[in-house]
């Protein structure tokens, strides 16, 4: 049995190979044999990590999702004002646009991903979605979110806006979604002082979500 570090490194190499092939050839035309050859491992080695092709490619998407969330956490850590919903949305939207595999899923690009993206959400830790709801509740409790609708309703509306923007071809500019979210979900005045006050808790919520999702990913290693 190889050391854990070696197994993880090999898994990352396989995921790198699979990601590159997905972008170049698409889900339908990429086989386990193709991935094994590009990763310079045997076909059986791939199956030591993932039981079938779908599980492998879902792991590729999960890794992309984790990395996108890690980037968001880094942005909040660098600038506490990034916890403002419109700014956070702008950052995450631009992040997804810069990750072709995630973007392909939202754009319903069957050639690249088949129908994998809906199944990705089943791979995320169940507490992933709750972290975002808690974040919105935090904003609402500090007068940083409109309060005339329940937070659960606003969550549904926000997701519809985000997915709608990501599904457009070509996608609108990040500044437009920021403006849309500001007008649709935020109060007229947003306090910089309050943003700084809630930033540590928001950062903790998203940091925890990253850790949970990464554990989900590494269980296969």
**Any residues with CB less than 8 A from the CB of 127 and at least 6 apart, and which?**
208, 209, 212
Determine, yes or no, domain membership for 2. no
Helices (H), 79-189: 85-97, 100-106, 110-113, 117-123, 127-141, 151-167, 174-185
Q: Please give the structure tokens belonging to residue 9.
A: 């490194």
Determine, yes or no, domain membership for 175. yes
Determine, yes or no, domain membership for 38. no
Determine, yes or no, domain membership for 13. no
Among the listed residues 126, 134, 66, 123, the one whose alpha carbon sits nearest the alpha carbon of residue 99: 66
Q: 125: phi > 0 → left, psi -120 to 50 → alpha, else beta; which?
A: beta
Among the listed residues 54, 74, 101, 118, the one whose alpha carbon sits nearest the alpha carbon of residue 210: 74
Determine, yes or no, domain membership for 7. no
Placement of tokens 């490194």 in the chain: 9
Placement of tokens 């919520």 in the chain: 205
Determine, yes or no, domain membership for 74. yes
Determine, yes or no, domain membership for 147. yes
pLDDT in tens, the chain (221 residues): 455 558 889 999 999 999 999 999 988 899 999 999 999 999 999 999 999 999 999 899 899 989 999 999 999 999 999 999 999 999 999 999 999 988 887 777 777 776 776 777 777 777 888 999 999 999 999 999 999 999 999 999 999 999 999 988 899 999 999 999 999 999 999 999 999 999 999 999 999 999 998 988 888 67
Q: Which domain holds residue 120?
A: 65-218
Determine, yes or no, domain membership for 186. yes
Count of structural domains, the chain: 1
């Amino acid at each position: 049995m190889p050391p854990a570090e070696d197994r993880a490194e090999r898994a990352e190499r396989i995921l790198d190979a699979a990601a590159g092939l997905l972008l170049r050839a698409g889900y339908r035309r990429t086989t386990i044999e193709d991935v094994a050859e590009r990763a310079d491992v045997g076909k059986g080695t791939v199956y030591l990590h993932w039981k079938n092709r779908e599980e492998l490619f879902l792991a590729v998407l999960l890794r992309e999702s984790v990395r996108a969330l890690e980037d968001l956490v880094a942005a909040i850590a660098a600038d506490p004002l990034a916890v403002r919903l419109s700014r956070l949305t702008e950052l995450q939207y631009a992040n997804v646009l810069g990750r072709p595999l995630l973007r392909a899923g939202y754009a319903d690009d069957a050639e690249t991903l088949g129908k994998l993206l809906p199944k990705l959400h089943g791979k995320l830790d169940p507490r992933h979605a709750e972290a975002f709801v808690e974040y919105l509740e935090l904003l609402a409790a500090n007068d940083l979110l409109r309060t005339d609708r329940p937070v659960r309703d606003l969550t549904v509306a926000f997701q519809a806006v985000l997915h709608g923007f990501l599904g457009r071809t070509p996608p609108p500019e990040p500044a437009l979604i920021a403006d849309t979210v500001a007008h649709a979900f935020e109060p007229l005045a947003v306090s910089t002082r309050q943003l700084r006050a809630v930033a540590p808790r928001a950062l903790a919520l998203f940091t925890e979500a990253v850790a949970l999702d990464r554990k989900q990913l590494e269980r296969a290693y």
